Structure formats: C-alpha cells, structure tokens
Amino acid sequence: MDHLDEISVEELQDALDNVDGNKPTQRLLAAIAYKNGVTQTELAEWHDTGRRTIYSWLNRLDTDKPLEQAVIDAHRSGRKRKLSEKQQQEFEHTVHESPQEIGFDAPAWTPALVKEYLEETYDVEYSIPSCRRLLKEAGLSYQKPRRSAAESDENDQEAFHDEIKKSDGKWTPQ
C-alpha cells in the first residue's frame, strides 16, 4: 500500500513549519523523505526504530485531519492516583509537620516512614521511589545531615550520631 498519495511535499513542509515537539517533527521529516523516494526500511534505520513504526507514522497521515494534528499523539492520562485530592492535601499538610507530632519516633520524614504512614492512614501501598516523589510534590527537598565539628562535646557527638541513625537524611520544606 502506497502512503501519502494525496499529500504533496509542499503540504508536508508547511505542516513542518507549524508543529512543535520532537516526535511530530520527526514524523513529518520521515514523511518528506518517504515522498522523496527513501524506503520505509531506510527510514527505520535513520530514525533507529522499527519498520512497523515508520509504517504507522506514514499511515496516520492518511486522514482527513490537518497534518499538524495527525502527527501529534493523543493525550494519555496515565494511571489514576491512589490518594484522592483531599487525601493528597492532608498528606502534604502532615509532612510539613514533624513525624513526632503524629506519633512516629523519628525526627524527620523519610520515604520509608512515608510508606508506613500511607499504609496505616489511607490503606494504600506506595514504593519507596513513589514516596520520594510524593515528598517532592509536597514541596520538600532531601537534605543530607551535616557533620558536627570534631571538637564538640562528646555527648553532643553521640546525640548527633543517634540522630543521624534515626533520620538517614531527611526531607525538609524548600
């Protein structure tokens, strides 16, 4: 099946001037090259993709839609959030307070502590990387603990080391 019989190179070039983004540009450039005699196999090699992908790119241009719209991917909403908007706001408010205020024996929020909190409070399971993302979305940033001066009091040093062991780094408001 021949593609793009109804579309001229000039129309493709005009559309190229009116699109933004890498993917739409790449698709139109492939179509222009195809119209100039480059095979789908060669295009696949040029774009480091499969021949089937090139076929799909060309096939999507055989439509009644304007070319600028045909080369753009439809919106993908992604997975539904586990926390409702209200729960998300409650969570964000909570992590701006000390974990000790809500009954945890920890000086600061960690991804592992957030995971435990979310399971206990909202009965939802998140991975540690997702808990990091939630902390970042809540406006917190990761802070590594700073070392105390070696000359400090020995009791202060012990307290500091105990604190480090508890927090293993912490998330603080930005």
The pLDDT tens digits of the residues spanning 24-50 come to 999 999 999 999 999 999 999 999 999
φ and ψ of 142, to 5 deg? -75, 130
Axis crossing angle, helix 51-60 with helix 22-35, rounded to the nearest 10? 90
Range of the domain at 133: 85-173
Are residue 106 and residue 26 in the same domain, yes or no?
no
pLDDT at site 154: 74
pLDDT confidence of residue 169: 60
**Whether 169 and 89 share a structural domain:** yes
Tally of structural domains, the chain: 2
Q: Are residues 114 and 154 in the same domain?
A: yes
